[in-house]
Amino acid sequence: MTESAAVEVRNASVALGGRPVLRGIDLTVAPGDFVALMGANGSGKSTLVRAMVGLRPVIGGEVRLFGTPLDEYDAWSRIGYVPQRATAGSGVPASVWEVVAAGRLTRRRLLRPLSRADRAAIEDALEVVGLVDRRRDAVTNLSGGQQQRVLIARALAGEPELFFLDEPTAGVDLPNQQVLADTLARLKERGATIVLVAHELGPLAPLVDRAVVLRDGRVAYDGSALQDHEVHQPWFAEPHTHHHHHERPPSVSAPVGRDDQLPGGRR
């Protein structure tokens, strides 16, 4: 029996406010894969991640997680999501520990107190992001990068096997990026599947098996890992402005975009 893909997106389109933001996306992520989702601002990376976790309805097409269509999917404890967000605050103070503990809800039953395993998982997650000694502090009193680490810890606390990380390292300093990279490497060894959105891979670069580049809501490249700067090569980022044939860099094996390779494209 073949193992079903961790994520399968087939011909998915997403419209926001009546405007198509994603068009005909096809993407399959095998279990254990580490996929980097890249592309310019506004190219639809966050929207794709949100569609994959069911936060944005897909028009036409289909999204499956572990072989189950999203509508019927209910094994949410297998999924960890780090949203792209600047702050983790709300109208009432919440401590770092409380926010991280919310990540454990996928595994808790109603009206039951925290089990020992729950506490241990929360503790481990805090440890990984290096915020153990700030656990009692209000999240709003942390810096932006520290808040980002709180959101990472929240996803780790649920001990998921499929991670959607939307720019988890934005604003996080290099040593802590390295810590996150080490953690993800360990999770990957244990068979975790990771879909990562990032503009700069930094210390995460060696982990990436595969890069997917979005441009204007379409998949412009899907293949082996790219260097950060290659993502912004003109044939990915600016389809209609270049006027020459470009030598393709050796690592770009299979660009999917078509009109972007025409010399003197429409403008």
Ligand X SMILES: Nc1ncnc2c1ncn2[C@@H]1O[C@H](COP(=O)(O)OP(=O)(O)OP(=O)(O)O)[C@@H](O)[C@H]1O
Contact footprint for ligand X (CB under 6 A): 16-17, 21, 39, 41-47, 84
Query: By CB under 8 A, is residue 77 in contact with another protein?
Result: yes
Q: Select 55 or 117, whichever has its Cβ closest to another protein.
A: 55
Among 13, 106, 183, 261, which residue sits at the site for another protein (rule: CB under 8 A)?
A: 106
Cα separation, 195 vs 35, in Å, equals 5
Query: By CB under 8 A, is residue 144 in contact with another protein?
Result: no
Q: Give me the helix-helix angle, 174-189 and 144-157, nearest 10°.
A: 10
Cα separation, 25 vs 13, in Å, equals 7
Q: Select 41 or 241, whichever has its Cβ closest to ligand X.
A: 41
Give the nearest residue (CB) to ligand X: 46
Residue (of 157, 156, 152, 160) closest to 101 by Cα position: 157
Query: Helix (H, G, I), strand (E, B), or coil: what is residue 105?
Result: helix
**CA geometry: angle at 169 spanning 164 and 171, to 5°?**
140
Contact stretch for another protein (CB under 8 A) within 3-11, 20-28, 37-45, 134-142: 134-142
* Element housing 214 (H / E): strand 210-215
Q: Give the footprint of another protein on residues 178-217 (CB under 8 A).
A: none
Applying CB under 5 A, the residues found at the interface with Mg ion are 46, 84
What does 21 bind: another protein, Mg ion, ligand X, none (CB cut-off 5 to 8 Å by kind)?
A: ligand X
- Residue 136, Cβ density class (10 Å: 0-12 exposed, 13-18 middle, ≥19 buried): exposed
Cα separation, 118 vs 97, in Å, equals 12
Cα separation, 226 vs 209, in Å, equals 10
What are the angstrom distances between the C-alpha of 27 and each of 69, 192, 212, 222?
A: 14, 18, 9, 9
Q: Give the footprint of another protein on residues 30-59 (CB under 8 A).
A: 50, 53-55
Provide the CB-side half-sphere exposure for 2 (13 A, CA): 5
Q: Select 45 or 242, whichever has its Cβ closest to ligand X.
A: 45
Least separation in angstroms between residue 43's CB and ligand X is 4
What does 264 bind: ligand X, another protein, Mg ion, none (CB cut-off 5 to 8 Å by kind)?
A: none
Among 103, 168, 217, 255, which residue sits at the site for another protein (rule: CB under 8 A)?
A: 103
What does 17 bind: another protein, ligand X, Mg ion, none (CB cut-off 5 to 8 Å by kind)?
A: ligand X
Give the interface with another protein as residue ranges (CB under 8 A).
50, 53-55, 74, 76-77, 79, 81, 83, 88, 90-95, 97-99, 101-103, 105-106, 108, 110-111, 136-138, 141, 154, 158, 175
